[in-house]
C-alpha cells in the first residue's frame, strides 16, 4: 500500500522552511528516499523510513531505501509465521512474526492449550524486587459464562480475572489475615460490559503497575473504543507492599488455594487459551503432565457435544466445552435424561393404597408441590401434610377437580376436571401468604392463606391415610397413577430410580404398585348381549352386536330382530318389545282371558283400544274382583263404560276406603262397521279418585267426561281374570267384530303367547293370555264381495259384513241393476241430449263444441292472417290486425305509398 502523508504534515514542514527558521536547511527537499520511503529531516541530516509493505512483495532497505531486501528468500517461517526481511550493517536477514497461537524463532511452537475438568496451570515467577508490577495477557475461547481465567496470589494480595455472566471482571483484593475481622478485607473491581463467552477467541490484558489497575480487551476490530478498557488507581488500603514469591494460577486453582472467604467459588475454566504472557513471559507448559499443569492438554480440540443430541426425551442440551449438560423435562432424570420416574399405581383393582414420606429438611414458608396425575375417578385423597399435632395441608379430587386446602380453612379448587384418563401435571405453589394452583401450567385459582411452615420430620401422606374414616372424608382412597412427585426440589420416590436421585425417605407404603396399568375390567365382561369388551386404561368399551346399543350394549333394538309373527307390528318398549295386531271376534269365538304377571307396579289409570263392529249389543272387556268391576261394552250401538272401584277418597276428610262408581257413554254410535279409536282415562291420574274421560275417535274430538269420580283400575294388576270379546265364555253378549291390541295403563293385552313370538319378552310388567285358543288374526268379516254382488261393472266395497256397490255410469240401485235415464240430468250445456246405448250424445249449438257442448269454438284457430297479422275474435268471425306496410283482409297486400295504414276489415 502506498504511504501518502497527510497535507497538514506538509503544512508544518513548509512552515519549518519558512521565515522563522531560515537557518534550517531541509535535507528532505528534494527527498533522497526512494521506493516510496518517507523522509525525516534531522539537523544537518535526514532519515528514510522505508515502506514495510508493498504491492509486489518487493521491499527495500538501506539509507535511501534503494537496496532491495532479499532476506526472506528461502525463509523458514513456516505456515504459522510471516517473514519480514531486514538489512543490518550491510547483511540481509529476516525475522518471523507468528500468527496467534504460535511462537519460537520459526513459529513452530504452538502456544495453545485446552483446559478440562478442574484444570489449571501454575506459573511461578522468579523472585524479583518487591515492586508490584504485574502484567498478564492471554487469549481465551469458551462458552461457559462463569469461570476463573487467572488468579495471582501474593502475600495476601489477590488479583483474579473471572468470567461472570459472560463478562470479564478483574478483582484485586486483600485477604484479611486469618482470624481477623472479615470487614478488614477489601477489594476493587473492574468489569467490561461485553459477553465474551461466545466460543470465539478473545484477548485480554490485566495490568497492576504503580498502583494503577487496568483491564483491557485487545480484540482487534470489535474493540477500539474505551468500552474495552477500564483503569482505576488502587484504593490506599489495598496499596501496600507485598512480598514474593508470586504464584499465578491460570484457568483454575488448586482446591486448597481457594480462599476461606470465597463465598461463591468460581468454577475452573473450561475452554482453550493461547499466547498467555505473565509479566511478558510466554507461558508454554513444557511438561503437560507436570505438577504445574493439571488437566491441561496441548492444542485446542473442542467439539460441541450437543451436536450428538445426547439428551433424550426432549432434554435441553448445554454445551460445556469438554462435555455437555442435559436439562431434563419432567418426569425424566439422569445425565442424558434417560431415566423416567417410576409411576406409582394406586387403587389397583379397587384396593386401598397409601404411602407416606418423612420430610427431611425445613422448608421455610415457601412450598411447592408438583406431580403428574392420571385418573378416571372424580374423587379421592391425593396428599396430606401433617406434623405431630395436626394435618395442615390437604389435596384431593372433587368432581374430578383438584382441590387444595391449608390449615383446614383456606382452599382453592381447579376450574377444569382432569378425570379423563389422561396424564396431567398439577402443581401448588404456596409463597409466603398466597397459594396458587396450576394444572398443566394453567392457573386454576389462587387464595390468600395463613403461613404454612413445613418442618423436618413432618409426614407427607399420598393416596390416602391409614385411617379409613378420615380418608373417606376427603373422597376416599385415590385410584389412579402418580408420577414424579416433588416438594420444592425434593423428590418423593415410591420406587427408587437410583442412588443419584435423592428422595425423602419412604415411611410406609401399602397396595401401591409400580407402573400404571389399568384395571382389567374386561375380565368381568361388562358388555351385555354378546358385546366384545375392549380395555382402555381403567375403563372399557363394548363393541356391540347388531341391534344393540348403549355403553354396555344394554339397549336391544328388539324389533330389528323381527320377533313378532307375520301379520303383527313390533313395538320397542323401554324394556323389551310387544307385538301388536288386530283380531277378529266372531259370534262363535271363544272369549279371550288375561291375568297380570304379578309384577305390575304402575298405576293403571287408562285404557286404549281400536274397535270395529256392527253389533248393537256386545261386551268388549270385562273383569270383576269382589265388588269392583269394569265393563266396556256396546249398548244400543253406543260405547258404554261401567267402572266400580275401591279408592281412598281424597274428598273425605278421614280418607276412608270408598266404593266409587263411574258410568260413561259415547255420544255417537260405534256400531257402524267402521274403525273407532277409544281412549278412556282418569282426568287426574295422580289423584286417588277423579273424573274419567272418554275420547272417541281423537281426530273428531268427541269427548265425554263422567259426572262422578272414580278410582283407578289397579285392581286389574293381579289376581283377576280380564275377559276380551265377551262377558265370560257363556254369558252371551259376545263381540262380533275386530279389536286392535288393547292396552291397560299402557301395558298390552297381547294376542300372542310366549310360544308365538320368536324372542322372550323382557319387560317386567306383563299381562299374560290365559285362554288357550289364539284369536283369529287380522280383521276379516264374511267375504261379502266374493263373488261380486254388484252388476253391470259396479265396484264392491267391503264394509265389514256388509258392502256397497259403486255403479258404472247410467246404472243405479244397490246392485247396479237399474238403468237410469242419462239425459234426465241435462248433461249437454249448449246442445240437445239423446240416449245412445248406456250413455248419451250431445248435438251442439252453432259455435259450441265438446262432449257436453260446454266449450266455445275458437274462431282464431287456423286463422289466415299473413305477415304476422294478429287474429282478433269477432262476434261470429275473426278479423286481422295487420303490421306496418301490409293491408288487405288477410294482410297480404303490401302498402307502398301510405306507410302508416292499418286495415281492419270484415272477412
Ligand X SMILES: *[C@@H]1O[C@H](CO)[C@@H](O)[C@H](O)[C@H]1NC(C)=O
From the CB of 487, what's the least distance to ligand X, in Å?
14
Secondary structure class of 402 (helix, strand, coil) = strand
Among 29, 569, 702, 718, binds ligand X (CB under 6 A): 569
Angle (CA) 119-122-124 rounded to 5° is: 175
Give the closest residue to 168 by CA, choosing from 128, 137, 123. Answer: 137
Q: Rounded distance, CA 712 to CA 690, Å?
A: 8
Work out how close the CB of 588 gets to ligand X at its nearest, in angstroms, rounded to a whole number: 4
Residues forming a β-bridge with 109: 103
For residues 464 and 481, give the distance between their C-alpha atoms in angstroms, rounded to a whole number: 13
Between CA 875 and CA 892 the distance in angstroms is 23
CA 881, 885, 891, 893 torsion-angle sign:
positive
Q: Among 758, 737, 736, 739, which residue's Cα sits nearest to residue 748? A: 739
From candidates 313, 352, 377, 855, binder to ligand X by CB under 6 A? 352
Contacting ligand X within 762-791 (CB under 6 A): 779
Beta-strand (E) ranges in 597-656? 606-613, 617-625, 628-635, 638-648
User: Would you count residue 203 as binding ligand X (CB under 6 A)?
Assistant: no
Regarding 734 and contact with ligand X (CB under 6 A), the answer is no
**Strands of 300-390, DSSP E:** 316-320, 323-327, 332-333, 339-340, 344-346, 354-358, 367-374, 380-386
Q: Any residues with CB less than 8 A from the CB of 235 and at least 6 apart, and which?
A: 186, 188
Q: Which helix (H) or strand (E) holds 468?
A: helix 468-473
Residue 135 or 704 having the CB closest to ligand X:
135
739 touches 696 (CB < 8 A): no
Pick the closer one to ligand X by CB: 365 or 873.
365
Beta strands in 175-211 (DSSP E): 186-191, 202-209
Binding region for ligand X (CB under 6 A) out of 284-292, 321-329, 395-403, 574-582:
574-582
Q: Which is nearer to ligand X, 539 or 569 (CB)?
A: 569
Touching ligand X, residues 576-605 (CB under 6 A): 580-582, 586, 588, 603
856 binds ligand X (CB under 6 A): no
Half-sphere exposure of residue 102: CA atoms within 13 angstroms, side-chain side: 15
Among 740, 745, 775, 794, binds ligand X (CB under 6 A): 740
- Based on the shown chain and the rule CB under 6 A, indicate whether residue 207 belongs to the binding site for ligand X: yes
Give the H or E element holding residue 393: strand 391-398
The residue among 165 and 299 lying less far from ligand X, judged by its C-beta, is: 165
- Greatest CA separation found in the chain? 172
- Nearer to ligand X among residue 417 and residue 509 (C-beta): 509
| Least Å from the CB of residue 312 to ligand X | 23
Q: Enumerate residues 659-688 that contact ligand X by CB under 6 A.
A: 675, 688
Using CB under 6 A, which residues numbered 870 to 889 contact ligand X?
884-885
Q: Which of 566, 760, 899, 906 touches ligand X by CB under 6 A?
A: 899
Comparing CB distances to ligand X, the nearer of 432 and 856 is: 432
Min separation Cβ 605 and ligand X, Å: 8
The smaller minimum CB distance to ligand X, of residues 69 and 604, is found at 604
| 7: helix, strand or coil | helix
Q: Out of 135, 597, 679, 788, which residue is the one contacting ligand X (CB under 6 A)? A: 135
CB of 357 to ligand X, least distance (A): 17
Of 681 and 878, nearer to ligand X (C-beta) is 681
CB of 61 to ligand X, least distance (A): 26
Residues 404-443 binding ligand X (CB under 6 A) are 431-432
Residue span 695-724 as binding mask against ligand X, x where in contact by CB under 6 A, dash where not:
------------------------------
Please name which of 196, 199, 155 lies closest in space to residue 177, comparing C-alpha atoms: 155
Q: Which of residues 496-515 bind ligand X (CB under 6 A)?
A: 510-511
Please report, as residue ranges, which positions from 92 to 111 form the binding site for ligand X (by CB under 6 A).
none
Cβ of residue 356: shortest distance to ligand X, in angstroms? 12
- Alpha-carbon distance of 813 to 789, in angstroms, equals 12
250 binds ligand X, rule: CB under 6 A: no
Beta partners for residue 102, in sequence order: 110
Q: Identify which of residues 333 and 649 has a Cβ nearer to ligand X in the complex.
A: 649
Number of residues engaging ligand X in binding (CB under 6 A): 35
Closest CB 782 distance from ligand X, rounded Å: 8
Phi, psi of 349 (to 5 degrees): 50, 40
Shortest reach from residue 333's CB to ligand X, in Å: 23
Applying CB under 6 A, among 277, 495, 681, 878 the residue interacting with ligand X is 277
| Contact of 607 with 596, CB cutoff 8 Å | no
d(CA 708, CA 429): 74
Min. distance of Cβ 777 from ligand X in angstroms?
A: 8
Report d(CA 604, CA 744) in Å as an integer.
Answer: 6
CB of 374 to ligand X, least distance (A): 20
- Start-to-end C-alpha separation, the chain: 122
Pairwise CA distance, residues 726 & 720, whole Å: 16
Nearest-approach distance from CB 218 to ligand X, in angstroms: 9
Q: How far is the CB of 434 from ligand X (least distance, A)?
A: 8
The DSSP string of 663-728 is EEEEEEE--SSSEEEEEEEESSTTSSEEEEEEEESGGGTEEEEEEEEEE--GGGSSS--EEESSSS
Residue among 580 and 629 whose Cβ is closer to ligand X: 580
Cβ proximity of 529 and 544 under 8 Å: yes
How far apart are CB 581 and ligand X at their closest, in Å?
A: 5
SS3 category, 330:
coil
The residue among 586 and 829 lying less far from ligand X, judged by its C-beta, is 586
- Name the minimum Å distance from CB 146 to ligand X: 9
CB-nearer residue toward ligand X: 747 or 842: 747
Secondary structure element (H or E) that encloses residue 13, with its range: helix 7-16
Of 757 and 816, CB closest to ligand X: 757
Say which residues have a Cβ less than 8 Å from residue 91's Cβ, sequence separation at least 6: none
Rounded Cα distance between 673 and 675, Å, is 7
Residue 454 CB, nearest approach to ligand X (Å): 12
Return the residues of window 163-202 that contact ligand X according to CB under 6 A.
165-166, 195, 197-198
Which of 595/717 has CB closer to ligand X? 717
Contact between 568 and ligand X per CB under 6 A: yes
891 contacts ligand X (rule: CB under 6 A) = no
| 821/487 Cα distance (integer angstroms) | 112
Nearer to ligand X, 392 or 752 (CB): 752
Per CB under 6 A, 271 contacts ligand X: no
Cα 118 to chain centroid distance, Å, stands at 48
Closest CB to ligand X among residues 249, 800: 800
Task: State the nearest-atom distance from the C-beta of 20 to ligand X, in Å.
Answer: 38
Q: Strand pairing partners for 367?
A: 430
Q: x-or-dash pattern for ligand X, window 312-351, by CB under 6 A?
A: ---------------------------------------x
Pick 285 or 476: Cβ nearer ligand X: 476
Rounded to whole angstroms, the Cα distance separating 250 from 248 reads 6
CB of 480 to ligand X, least distance (A): 15
Q: Is 508 helix (H, G, I), strand (E, B) or coil?
A: strand
No. of helices (H) and no. of strands (E), the chain:
2, 74
Contact residues for ligand X, defined by CB under 6 A:
135, 137, 145, 165-166, 195, 197-198, 205, 207, 277, 280, 351-352, 364, 366, 431-432, 510-511, 568-569, 580-582, 586, 588, 603, 675, 688, 740, 779, 884-885, 899
Amino acid at each position: 500500500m502506498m504511504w501518502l502523508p497527510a497535507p497538514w504534515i506538509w503544512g508544518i514542514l513548509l512552515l519549518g522552511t519558512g521565515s522563522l527558521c531560515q537557518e534550517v536547511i531541509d535535507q528532505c527537499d528534494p527527498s533522497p528516499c526512494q521506493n516510496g520511503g518517507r523522509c525525516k529531516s534531522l539537523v544537518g541530516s535526514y532519515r528514510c523510513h522505508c515502506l514495510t509493505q508493498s504491492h509486489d512483495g518487493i521491499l527495500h532497505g538501506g539509507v535511501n531505501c534503494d537496496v532491495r531486501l532479499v532476506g526472506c528468500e528461502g525463509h523458514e517461517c513456516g505456515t504459522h509465521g510471516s517473514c519480514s526481511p531486514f538489512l543490518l550493517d550491510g547483511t540481509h536477514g529476516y525475522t518471523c512474526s507468528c500468527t496467534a497461537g504460535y511462537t519460537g524463532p520459526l513459529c513452530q511452537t504452538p502456544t495453545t492449550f485446552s483446559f478440562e475438568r478442574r484444570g489449571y496451570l501454575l506459573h511461578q515467577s522468579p523472585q524479583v524486587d518487591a515492586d508490584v508490577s504485574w502484567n498478564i495477557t492471554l487469549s481465551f475461547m469458551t462458552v461457559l459464562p462463569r469461570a476463573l481465567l487467572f488468579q495471582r496470589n501474593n502475600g495476601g494480595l489477590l488479583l483474579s480475572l473471572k468470567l461472570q455472566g459472560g463478562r470479564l471482571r478483574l478483582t484485586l483484593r486483600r485477604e484479611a489475615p486469618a482470624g481477623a475481622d472479615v470487614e478488614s478485607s477489601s477489594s476493587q473491581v473492574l468489569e467490561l460490559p461485553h459477553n465474551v463467552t461466545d466460543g470465539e477467541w478473545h484477548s485480554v490484558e490485566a495490568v497492576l503497575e504503580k498502583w494503577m489497575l487496568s483491564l483491557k480487551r485487545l480484540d482487534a476490530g470489535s474493540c477500539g473504543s474505551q468500552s474495552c478498557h477500564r483503569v482505576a488507581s488502587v484504593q490506599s488500603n489495598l496499596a501496600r507492599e507485598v512480598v514474593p514469591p508470586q504464584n499465578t494460577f491460570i484457568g483454575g486453582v488448586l482446591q486448597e488455594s481457594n480462599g476461606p472467604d470465597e463465598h461463591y467459588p468460581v468454577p475452573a475454566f473450561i475452554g482453550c487459551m493461547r499466547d498467555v504472557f505473565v509479566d511478558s513471559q510466554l507461558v508454554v507448559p513444557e511438561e503437560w503432565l507436570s505438577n504445574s499443569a493439571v488437566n491441561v492438554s496441548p492444542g485446542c480440540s473442542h467439539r460441541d457435544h450437543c451436536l450428538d443430541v445426547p439428551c433424550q426425551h426432549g432434554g435441553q442440551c448445554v454445551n460445556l466445552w469438554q462435555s455437555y449438560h442435559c436439562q431434563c423435562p419432567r418426569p425424566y432424570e439422569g445425565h442424558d435424561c434417560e431415566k423416567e420416574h417410576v409411576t406409582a399405581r394406586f387403587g389397583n383393582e379397587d384396593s386401598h393404597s397409601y404411602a407416606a414420606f418423612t420430610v427431611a429438611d425445613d422448608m421455610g414458608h415457601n412450598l411447592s408441590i408438583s406431580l403428574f396425575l392420571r385418573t378416571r375417578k372424580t374423587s379421592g385423597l391425593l396428599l396430606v401434610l401433617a406434623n405431630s399435632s395436626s394435618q395442615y395441608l390437604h389435596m384431593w379430587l372433587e368432581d374430578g377437580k383438584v382441590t387444595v386446602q391449608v390449615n383446614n380453612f383456606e382452599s382453592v379448587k381447579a376450574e377444569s376436571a382432569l378425570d379423563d384418563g389422561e396424564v396431567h401435571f398439577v402443581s401448588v405453589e404456596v409463597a409466603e401468604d398466597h397459594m396458587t394452583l396450576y394444572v398443566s401450567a394453567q392457573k386454576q385459582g389462587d387464595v390468600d392463606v395463613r403461613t404454612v411452615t413445613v418442618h423436618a420430620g413432618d409426614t407427607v401422606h399420598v393416596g390416602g391415610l391409614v385411617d379409613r374414616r378420615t380418608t373417606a372424608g376427603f373422597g376416599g382412597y385415590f385410584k389412579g397413577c402418580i408420577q414424579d412427585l416433588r416438594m420444592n426440589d425434593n423428590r418423593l420416590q415410591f420406587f427408587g430410580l437410583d442412588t443419584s436421585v435423592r428422595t425423602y425417605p419412604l415411611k410406609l407404603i401399602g397396595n401401591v404398585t409400580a407402573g400404571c396399568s389399568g384395571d382389567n375390567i374386561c375380565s368381568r365382561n361388562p358388555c351385555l348381549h354378546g358385546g366384545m369388551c375392549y380395555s382402555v386404561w381403567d375403563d372399557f368399551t363394548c363393541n356391540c352386536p347388531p341391534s344393540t346399543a348403549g355403553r354396555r350394549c344394554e339397549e336391544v333394538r328388539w324389533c330389528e330382530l323381527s320377533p313378532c309373527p307375520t301379520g303383527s307390528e313390533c313395538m320397542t318398549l323401554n324394556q323389551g318389545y310387544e307385538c301388536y295386531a288386530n283380531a277378529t271376534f266372531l259370534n262363535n269365538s271363544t272369549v279371550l282371558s288375561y291375568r297380570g304377571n304379578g309384577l305390575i307396579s304402575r298405576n293403571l289409570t287408562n285404557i286404549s283400544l281400536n274397535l270395529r263392529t256392527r253389533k248393537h249389543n256386545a261386551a268388549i272387556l270385562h273383569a270383576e274382583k269382589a265388588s269392583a268391576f269394569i265393563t266396556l261394552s256396546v249398548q244400543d250401538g253406543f260405547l258404554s263404560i261401567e267402572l266400580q272401584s275401591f279408592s281412598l277418597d281424597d274428598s273425605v276428610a278421614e280418607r276412608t276406603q270408598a266404593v266409587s262408581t263411574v258410568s260413561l257413554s259415547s255420544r255417537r254410535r260405534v256400531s257402524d262397521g267402521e274403525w273407532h279409536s277409544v281412549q278412556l282415562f282418569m282426568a287426574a291420574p295422580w289423584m286417588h279418585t277423579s273424573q274419567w274421560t272418554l275420547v272417541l275417535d281423537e281426530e273428531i274430538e268427541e269427548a265425554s267426561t263422567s259426572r262422578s269420580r272414580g278410582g283407578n283400575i289397579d285392581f286389574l294388576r293381579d289376581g283377576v281374570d280380564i275377559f276380551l270379546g265377551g262377558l265370560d265364555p257363556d254369558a252371551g253378549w259376545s263381540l262380533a267384530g275386530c279389536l286392535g291390541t288393547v292396552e291397560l295403563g299402557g301395558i298390552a293385552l297381547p294376542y300372542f303367547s310366549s310360544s308365538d313370538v320368536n324372542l322372550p319378552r323382557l319387560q317386567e310388567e306383563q299381562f299374560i293370555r290365559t285362554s288357550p285358543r289364539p284369536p283369529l288374526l287380522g280383521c276379516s268379516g264374511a267375504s261379502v264381495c266374493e263373488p261380486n254382488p254388484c252388476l253391470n261393472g259396479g265396484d264392491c266395497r267391503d264394509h265389514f259384513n256388509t258392502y256397497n256397490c259403486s255403479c258404472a255410469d247410467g246404472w243405479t240401485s244397490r246392485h247396479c241393476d237399474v238403468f237410469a235415464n242419462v239425459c234426465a240430468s241435462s248433461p249437454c250445456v249448449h246442445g240437445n241430449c239423446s240416449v245412445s246405448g248406456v250413455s248419451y250424445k250431445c248435438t251442439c249449438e252453432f259455435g259450441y263444441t265438446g262432449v257436453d257442448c260446454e266449450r266455445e269454438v275458437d274462431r282464431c284457430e287456423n286463422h289466415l292472417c299473413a305477415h304476422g297479422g294478429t287474429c282478433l275474435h269477432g262476434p261470429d268471425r275473426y278479423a286481422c290486425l295487420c303490421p306496418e306496410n301490409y293491408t288487405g283482409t288477410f294482410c297480404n297486400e303490401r302498402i307502398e305509398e301510405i306507410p302508416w295504414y292499418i286495415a281492419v276489415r270484415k272477412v
